[in-house]
Amino acid sequence: MNLLRRAGRLFDRVMSVMLFLSGIIIIIDVALVAQDVIIRKSFDFTWAPLYEILTYSLVWMSFLGTAAIYRDDGHVKLDSFLQFLPQRARTLVNFVTSCAIVLLCLFLCFLTVRLTVRDYLNHFVLASILNPPKWPIEIIIPIALFMLAIQAVRHAVRYYQAFRAPAPAEPTQAPGK
């Protein structure tokens, strides 16, 4: 059990680093856009590849932060629907949802790993201004999906344990009231 706790802490640190890197990408993107606007307005010049770089960084920024957002329950949930269910039913729905997320993430991870490896082996290059190889841009997708699958397993275990725990006893009223 101690090994699982250490692995969980390490996993949380990796997710925090990924979230931090996502924040750095956001800061760099903001600086690049601000610099481009100033140069465009001052000198009537824009660097053409900047739009492409910002597009690729948007992919990385989005996928780097997803596992940490899911860990912190910052994702979209069915709270408005679930609030009408009893606690035990809510826990069961959350468990089933987490299991579905695990399966979906693993399936998508398999597909994206296969695509990324194929793009790497075929030396696939994007037809754009910069002509970059495609695999470095898309490699973050299977990594993030794998991290999401692990986090969904952690959520599923937590919901399963909560579902299996005995329900708290209902408070009893004093006789005569």
Query: For 28-51, what is each residue's pLDDT tens digit?
Result: 999 999 999 999 999 988 888 999
The answer to whether 56 and 137 have CB atoms below 8 angstroms apart is yes
Query: Average pLDDT of the chain?
Result: 88
> In this structure, what token pair is assigned to residue 45?
């010049």
CA distances from 11 to 21, 146, 147 (A): 15, 12, 9
**C-alpha span between 72 and 70 (Å, rounded):** 5
- For the chain, give every domain's residue range: 2-164
The torsion region of residue 129 among left (phi > 0), alpha (psi -120 to 50) and beta comes to alpha
pLDDT of 177 reads: 47
Between the alpha carbon of residue 8 and those of residues 156, 169, 175, the distances in Å are: 14, 32, 49
* Torsional class of 4: left (φ above 0), alpha (ψ -120 to 50), beta (otherwise): alpha
Query: For 57-78, how does the pLDDT look when each residue is reduced to its tens digit (9 = 90+)?
Result: 999 999 998 888 888 877 666 6
Answer yes or no: is pLDDT of 95 > 80: yes
List, for residues 143-177, the tens digit of each pLDDT value: 999 999 999 999 999 999 988 887 665 545 544 54
Residue holding tokens 């290059």? 125
Quote helix, strand, coil % in the chain, to nearest 5: 75, 0, 25
Burial of 145 (0-12, 13-18, 19+ CB in 10 A): buried
What 3-state class would DSSP assign to 125?
strand
Question: What is the pTM for the complete model shown?
Answer: 0.83
